[in-house]
Amino acid sequence: MSEDRGYVYIVCNKRYGTLYVGVTSDLAKRIWQHKEHVVAGFTAKYRTARLVWYECHESIEEAINREKQIKEWRRDWKVNLIQDMNPDWRDLYDDLTA
């Protein structure tokens, strides 16, 4: 994973549970932070640490724009995005760190 790139991701606490949309330049590190509850806030409060969807962009600016777009979406659109990539809602973190 290139550090110039940006990643938009969705984490959840369980299948069809609470969703969080985020952006980062280091996806594996950021998901580890969610899993370890390193940063206080929404994801720590709702225990959203299962990576169920992500998308890579050529720049962090592109990723930020996409994150803003997705955050405006209705919940069912986000669920459909997850279902298209990951119908079993499997935690994709292990794929990143393998």
pLDDT at 80 over 90: yes
| Single-letter residue type at 80 | N
Query: What's the one-letter identity of residue 24?
Result: T
Check pLDDT > 80 for residue 1: no
The pLDDT of residue 3 is 57
CA-based R_g, the chain, Å: 12
**Alpha helix stretches (DSSP H) within the chain:** 27-36, 42-45, 60-71, 75-85, 93-97
Which helix H or strand E contains 75, and what residues bound it?
A: helix 75-85
Exposure b/e, 59-77, CB count within 10 A at least 16 = b: ebebbeebbeebeeeeeee
Mean pLDDT of the region 21-36: 96
Query: Rounded CA gap, 34 and 40, in Å?
Result: 9
- Domains, in order of start, for the chain: 6-97 (3.40.1440.10)
Q: What is the pTM of this model?
A: 0.93
